Amino acid sequence: MIRSAAKNHASVAVVTAVSQYQSVLDELRASGGSLGEATCYRLAQDAFRRTAQYDGAIAAYLATDSAPEGTGAPGEAFPAALRLEGERALTLRYGENPHQAAAFYRQAAAPAVGLGSMRQLHGPELGYNNLLDFSAALSLLLEFDRPAAVVIKHTNPCGAALGDTVGAAMLRAKASDPVSIYGGIVGVNRTLDAAVVGALAGIFVEILFAPSYTPDALEELKRTKKRCRVFEVSCDRGALPPRLAEYRSVLGGLLAQTADLDDLDPAALQTVSRRAPTDAEREALRFAWRVAKHAKSNAIVLTTADQVIGVGAGQMNRVDSARLAVMRAQGQGLETAGTVCASDAFFPFRDGLDVVAQAGATAVIQPGGSVRDDEVIAAADAHGLAMVFTGLRHFRH
């Protein structure tokens, strides 16, 4: 009926959303009971968009495990034809650069946790880069159950920490890289209070987000951080669906993949060195692994059990990422001796391992799988390192 009415929009007005009622009523009253051609045309557009969404939802359902046996549809990760639906939620200031136009579309069936449910409490309008970094920061923050704080710059973690409170975590995350936090995106996974505001005193950040705020903290942010965009957003990992799809445009097409949501299974870790990691090292390795998962490949991350110490990300070879992680840590005056190291993919040679061992790292977590694994394991043993394989890679491009 909606489709039929929309086809006849020249003589029929079809209203498909409660949000349209007021404007339609206002025009009817103002015109003495009629709607203009432009209004009917716009309403028809909205109607066809809704029926298309409905038909798309039916087609997607039929392509899932509900399909009859023998159709070939069950078990396929993605449908033969793909239709993405979203409503423009924001027209952004510009894209990655000022000469590029940009917008943010809220997915029709967005999960409860994510940017689709964000609520801005303070600050100027958003840009494209802001949202990319916001998404990266939220994705990292969702890795942690304990009170945590993260700092993201150009989609890479430059600070992350755990603590008994988010205030304590924020102080550690800031100390991870007190230079790069300037202009970064900062998030905490508990109610943001005066301690977090105090930790960020005098520091400009583009976005600050949390699941909630104390009234005093929010008022202080509004008073002291005029240019900071303050957001309320869910940080509940349990609200994520068990299967989430990611899409990326490429020239002439669209790439689709399931999101990298696999968590580290401690029982699946394989100790390959002569020395097994201590309980304290295992705890630190789990933290380092979660952070490395969110750094651009090639990624090397040095941490303690509750603080990022150095990050080497986005380098074209792994040994340079290792050198960068050490250089960044030592450049901030942070102690690398006694840290652990996480690598998002295997070490193709022993050189990267030698770099972190010489910096004082005591344990390493990596996927394994290199043709030179034996050489890398021998290097770990020569340095007295504990090393575990995960069998799971976390490339991020």
CB atoms within 10 A of CB 2: 16
| DSSP-assigned beta bridge partners for residue 153 | 156
The token pair that represents 279 in the structure block: 């309980």
Burial of 308 (0-12, 13-18, 19+ CB in 10 A): buried
Assess whether 222 carries a catalytic annotation.
Answer: no
DSSP codes, 34-86:
---HHHHHHHHHHHHHHHHHHHHHHHHHHTTTTSPTTSS-TT-SS-SS----E
Assess whether 397 carries a catalytic annotation.
Answer: no
> Dmax over Cα atoms in the chain, in whole Å?
89
At which residue do the structure tokens 């025009």 appear? 27
Residue 282's φ and ψ, nearest 5 degrees, are -60, -40
At which residue do the structure tokens 């929009």 appear? 9
CA dist 241 to 117, 259, 267, 349, 382, Å?
Answer: 15, 10, 24, 38, 44
Distance from C-alpha of 325 to C-alpha of 91, rounded to nearest angstrom = 37
Annotated catalytic residue: which of 7, 222, 226, 383?
7
Classify the C-alpha dihedral 268-274-276-281 as positive or negative. negative
Distance from C-alpha of 277 to C-alpha of 386, rounded to nearest angstrom = 5
Distance from C-alpha of 35 to C-alpha of 290, rounded to nearest angstrom = 57
Distance from C-alpha of 135 to C-alpha of 129, rounded to nearest angstrom = 10
Beta strands 185-188 and 148-153, pairing class: antiparallel
At which residue do the structure tokens 């508990």 appear? 190
Annotated catalytic residue: which of 9, 99, 154, 226?
154
Q: Residues 62, 65, 67, 73: what is their CA dihedral angle, to the nearest 10 degrees?
A: 90
Tell me how many degrees the CA angle 195-201-205 measures, rounded to the nearest 5: 105
Catalytic residue IDs: 7, 154
